[in-house]
Amino acid sequence: MNKEIATPIRTKAILDKYGFSFKKSLGQNFLIDTNILRKIVEAAGITGETGTIEIGPGIGALTEQLAKVSRKTVAFEIDQRLLPILADTLSPYQNVKVIHHDFLKANVPAVIEEEFGPDTDLVVAANLPYYITTPIIMKILEERLPVRAIVVMLQKEVADRISAKPGSKDYGSLSIAIQYYTRAETVMIVPKTVFVPQPNVDSAVIRLSVRKEPAVSVMDEQFFFEVTRASFAQRRKTILNNLTSQLAGGKEKKDKILAALRTAEIEPSRRGETLSLEEFARLSNALMPSFR
């Protein structure tokens, strides 16, 4: 059996063998520390019954660890140059399928149905390219993909924003969107030194446990997210000023916004970053009749 992929020596040997050069545009940073990969697998609670979905397998470092413990792993890879490398590095594992497709454009429900079938315990595990972290996570959540958890490595700064609490500088519309669908926790901080090439910043592994029902009850999900985005448009502005300037027709409906704030029991002078998920839900439900 070959030595594990995620060691400095083996990774270099694989890259040299195929003359692979990193594409900055694809955010390629390969992990060279098997302990961290095992911790990702552990954090995802994967068993022999679990199906795993990976996005951006690279040369197969995490894929290998997933394949060792899960029932089946399906990995989406956008870079055609990596396909022959993956065919080689993952050849010992019969329970892996690599799909050459952009995950953001893929019909993932159809893939899940075909590759895993109904009622499989499903987990997403990935070392995500920094530049598309948020769109990938939001696609999984907004499309209501039937996954139990999402365990991903991403830029530490984004992890801080995802798990931030009201009143902190990192708290914003991204925190709300992800906490609406999941329970978010940071599993570990990962130093930049364990990647090739080295990124400029440290990373973090986060676990998002998908809620069976969203955290709060809203009349219109799309409008709820519109309201949260508007509330953070200019962080120094009050909630009243942000909603008035950012919501379509807000200036003409300032009295309606004031009335909705009263109904939701929110002081108009507060800033968006002080509002909890529950307060945003009350506010969007109170605003709804005037804006929809």
Please give the backbone phi and psi of residue 70, each rounded to the nearest 5 degrees, phi first.
-95, 165
- Number of H helices and number of E strands within the chain? 12, 9
37 marked ligand binding residue: no
DSSP SS3 for 118: coil
Query: How is residue 163 written in tokens?
Result: 């798990």
Cβ(46)–Cβ(66) under 8 Å? yes
Cα–Cα dist 258/255, whole Å: 5
221 marked ligand binding residue: no
95 marked ligand binding residue: no
- 53 beta partners: 74, 124
102 marked ligand binding residue: yes
Looking at this protein, which amino acid is placed at residue 25?
A: S
Cα–Cα dist 56/212, whole Å: 27
56 marked ligand binding residue: yes
Q: Is the dihedral of CA 186, 189, 235, 224 positive or negative?
A: negative
29 marked ligand binding residue: yes
Looking at this protein, which amino acid is placed at residue 136?
A: I
Please give the backbone phi and psi of residue 234, each rounded to the nearest 5 degrees, phi first.
-130, 105
Q: 260: exposed, middle or buried (C-beta count within 10 Å: 0-12, 13-18, 19+)? A: buried
Please give the backbone phi and psi of residue 153, each rounded to the nearest 5 degrees, phi first.
-95, 130
Q: Give the annotated binding-site residues.
A: 29, 31, 56, 77, 102, 127
Q: Give the annotated binding-site residues for S-adenosyl-L-methionine.
A: 29, 31, 56, 77, 102, 127
